[in-house]
Structure 1
């Protein structure tokens, strides 16, 4: 099934799981069909996670494909559970989102510290201060889609690892709170089937967009306007313009919005061979991973 022309807008959100009310690391970019340069949404605004939730609920343009740069789930397939050995381990991703939000109900700013500090959860995590749960081994468990990322030459980190500059666990858990609170307002592929009309959310990995634009693996961050414009050109997009440095959160979002505009029309990306119904319910999939 072709999805060319299916969406009228393409949004990429570079996410942050950092502590605090507002996150300089969050950036939102929007592209429209054609070749026009993507643009930042609310440039200069320092977003909060609650801002993003409200924007997705109330201000999202119609027929938008939204890419969220976070891990919306945890490994399940390898052990048959998110948290093996825990009787209350959720059976699917939506139940996991609900559990994270319930345990963190009193945490401000959609933070997830209460969840990662939960005694049963912590047994499976690598946390700061040399704290490593007895069920965390090696570099941490990976989802099936993350094994596929590795096969494509990427370097995914386990969502159960909360340590290091490249860790994604904190982003993932805070993002799960947002996804739970969106409820049925927006379908989230592949946990939900892609509807024939309207908006939808997918998981993105911004390095995929950079590699598609010709950047070398391991050199996917764009830190100048010139680098960004060269990458946009490789995706068939007009330049953003400007000169000098640009924050990589902004460039990640801008380039990925332009990439979504081209990638959304590829039917193969909506039907990766390894994506089975059980994986779709539990682990999900990163859009763009084959």
Structure 2
């Protein structure tokens, strides 16, 4: 597959699985082709909801926009042949997204109740759930990334700690379900030759590409953000009111997407099998 060349806008969305309906953990940044620095997209009501983010993505459907979300698009299935072994669930990602959505009464596309109802069986939410190692199952993408020196991967079955991606990922699966066929999602769908496309991103990859060391991938100062942006041939950013991890992650990753969207190897990962492509997905930038 040859890298698509029609994208003229690049967006990165720092996501949140927190309970509630408004989330300061969500940030959206976008840049156009060229070298202008990405800018933050203002939330409709000052603070993003997950539903607002869904509507924003839907509104980009007909524009040539590459949109990255930083959550896992599906749990692992290749390793154990089931997303939730012992529970009768679908065996493809799109059908599983619908399953998650149907079992989540949470507001604003939340999914905390899905995990809480299965704690100790499929999800680790604390010491009472047993030995944590029993829940450490990974997608082929995470296993490949780790084997090539990427670092310690996260699993969607671990819902403890600041680095956990479980709640955000299952909330994100609800968003992908509601997105439906409005915007294709790579690699589950073919890459379109026009319009928008959603991909999974990992903001730490952008940080490493900007020269930041492992364990020090967060930017909290204007000068550091400009230095990182320069690594992606981006001009300095417009000053922010607040330099928090969510805003700077989104800005930096948007610039990284623009810089690397044309790399064929990112669209053709060596370890991405058809089974993984339909069942688990892949993080853009892992090769």
Same fold (TM > 0.5): yes
| Matched residue, 2:83 | 82
| Matched residue, 1:41 | 41
Does 2:105 match 1:109? no
Give the distance between the partners of 1:66 and 1:59, measured in 2 at CA.
Answer: 9
| Matched residue, 2:31 | 31
Matches within 5 A, 1:201-220: 201-220=198-217
| Matched residue, 2:137 | 141
Residues 80 and 243 of structure 1: CA distance in aligned 2, closer, same or farther (over 3 Å): closer
User: Tell me, what secondary structure is at the counterpart of 2:142?
Assistant: helix
Contact 2:15 2:69 in 1 (8 A): yes
Please report how far the alpha carbon of residue 131 of structure 1 lies from its aligned counterpart in structure 2 after TM superposition: 3.8
User: Tell me, what secondary structure is at the counterpart of 1:51?
Assistant: helix
- Between stretches 192-201 and 26-35, larger displacement belongs to 192-201
Contact 1:224 1:245 in 2 (8 A): no
Contact 2:72 2:200 in 1 (8 A): yes
| Matched residue, 1:238 | 235
Does 2:223 match 1:226? yes
* TM-score scaled by length of structure 2: 0.93
Please report how far the alpha carbon of residue 152 of structure 1 lies from its aligned counterpart in structure 2 after TM superposition: 3.4
| Matched residue, 1:70 | 71
Alpha-carbon deviations, 1:76-114, whole Å to 9, x = none? 11111111222x12211111100110001x321211123
Contact 2:159 2:165 in 1 (8 A): yes
User: Tell me, what secondary structure is at the counterpart of 1:124?
Assistant: coil
In the alignment, structure 2 segments of 5+ residues that lack a partner are none
Please report how far the alpha carbon of residue 217 of structure 1 lies from its aligned counterpart in structure 2 after TM superposition: 1.4
Does 2:175 match 1:174? no
Does 2:185 match 1:162? no
Give the distance between the partners of 1:225 and 1:46, measured in 2 at CA.
Answer: 22
How many residues align? The count is 285
User: Tell me, what secondary structure is at the counterpart of 2:69?
Assistant: strand
* TM-score scaled by length of structure 1: 0.93
| Matched residue, 2:150 | 153
| Matched residue, 2:16 | 16
- Between stretches 156-165 and 235-244, larger displacement belongs to 235-244
Contact 1:116 1:122 in 2 (8 A): no
| Matched residue, 2:97 | 97
Give the distance between the partners of 1:164 and 1:50, measured in 2 at CA.
Answer: 25
Contact 1:226 1:244 in 2 (8 A): no
Please report how far the alpha carbon of residue 139 of structure 1 lies from its aligned counterpart in structure 2 after TM superposition: 6.0
Please report how far the alpha carbon of residue 58 of structure 1 lies from its aligned counterpart in structure 2 after TM superposition: 2.4
Give the distance between the partners of 1:153 and 1:257, measured in 2 at CA.
Answer: 20
Give the distance between the partners of 1:46 and 1:72, measured in 2 at CA.
Answer: 24
Contact 2:12 2:68 in 1 (8 A): yes
Give the distance between the partners of 2:179 and 2:24, measured in 1 at CA.
Answer: 23
Residues 145 and 22 of structure 1: CA distance in aligned 2, closer, same or farther (over 3 Å): same
